[in-house]
Amino acid sequence: MARKLQQVQAGEVLHLIGYLMPSRRGARSLKLNIIDWIQEGDHGLLQENRP
């Protein structure tokens, strides 16, 4: 997933699909686990990022 995200240009709008979970057991801080994302196209149209 990290390699796929490296190809995204700075400033692009992404709609993330994932979930929040504690960063470690008993922690109060959360981390976002990204499963997939959808990029906005040139004209605001959504394009799924699936292989």
The predicted structure's pLDDT at residue 20: 94
Q: What is the mean pLDDT for each group of 10 consecutive residues in the chain (51 residues)?
A: 84 88 90 87 56 54
**Using CA atoms, how far apart are residues 39 and 22, in angstroms rounded to an integer?**
26
The predicted structure's pLDDT at residue 33: 93
Radius of gyration of the chain measured on its C-alpha atoms: 13
Task: Return the DSSP state at 21.
Answer: E
The predicted structure's pLDDT at residue 40: 77
**Using CA atoms, how far apart are residues 27 and 13, in angstroms rounded to an integer?**
30
The predicted structure's pLDDT at residue 5: 83
The CB density around residue 43, as the number of other CB atoms within 10 Å, is: 5
CB 34 within 8 A of CB 17: yes
Task: Return the DSSP state at 8.
Answer: S
pTM of the model: 0.57
**Domain extents in the chain:** 2-48
